[in-house]
Structure 1
């Protein structure tokens, strides 16, 4: 998969399309919650496989953290390390911007996935968009 920072309107449309499929259609998150006011200031990422958009995410720099958000991979492409690849790309950008701390709110079903990538759970379970989540952090080298 080729991961890149979104630079064009078409790439942004591709990222929003992947997010809509995963979060709105698959997980029943409302479109208003999924595509929110933070999209305007976020750094967006898009992942392509054979020129098809298959993964997306966004990054915000908040309170001294690089905050990973809206990480998603289309269902038929899961289990192939594409999520890991997009997270690595986001962590690289966080480091380039001089940050060493990363935070994310993980859906509880993905908590073990993030633990394998070095993230530690720092909260109890909470609901976001009707889905159970936990907050996780990581210190970058």
Structure 2
């Protein structure tokens, strides 16, 4: 059974930094590349939750769950749902200011995906390999 820690954050843009600090603190003592990747992943997923779902609405929230197994660290961000399904987009680097978040997540992660939540909302997760531990 994996060990998991979780924390709920108000759905405000400035709370994304708190989510990054939460994950970094949980990974203290791990290889720096794993910490860097995990911080980047949670930052992108939390920012997407706040920008693109009802989590960013008045009294919105998002939940960060960090799970540990022998082989990987799973980062999950649960949001309150939105109209669009999260997906990797083709981005024109010269014209678009955003849209790269899930591309970055997929580059860092061993695997990632989206799960709809039975009570509404969805969970976007990413597994980061724990190489050499």
Q: TM-score, normalised by structure 1?
A: 0.29
Which structure carries more relative contact order (alpha carbon 8 Å, separation 6+)? Answer: 2
Query: Greater helix share, 1 or 2?
Result: 1
Query: Greater strand share, 1 or 2?
Result: 1
Q: TM-score, normalised by structure 2?
A: 0.30
